[in-house]
Amino acid sequence: MSRQRRSSQAWRDLIEQQRTSGVPVSDFCIEHGLCSTAFYSWRKRFRSQEANRAQFVRLEPPPSNRSSGSWISLTTPQGFRLECSITIDPQRIAEVLTVLDRRARGC
């Protein structure tokens, strides 16, 4: 069997096809003439890229005229310090803390 070189986009498309098909990876690879090792390798690469992108959370710079009573300061066990308005969305704080935790663990 000759090897076929596929582009990164071609692998993305194949991985998405397999995911939406509900067919087990091993069967999908046989049906499409793919090496399952290559399939898993590309899937891992794409997941890693997605995880790296998810580590960034957009934060707006604080206004220069903040009053001390309307701001809080959070310090994580890893030593990260987050200062934010008390009106910040709690979900945003959770996202930021998740990113900081991943960074501290080297993920």
In the numeric block, which tokens belong to residue 26? 């091993």
Among 8-12, 95-99, 103-107, the range of highest mean pLDDT: 8-12
Whole-prediction pTM = 0.48
pLDDT of residue 90: 84
Where are the strands (E) in 24-96, listed by range?
A: 71-75, 81-85
pLDDT of residue 94: 84
Residue-wise pLDDT tens digits, 50-104: 765 555 556 566 555 555 568 888 887 777 788 888 888 888 888 888 887 777 7
In the numeric block, which tokens belong to residue 59? 């934060």
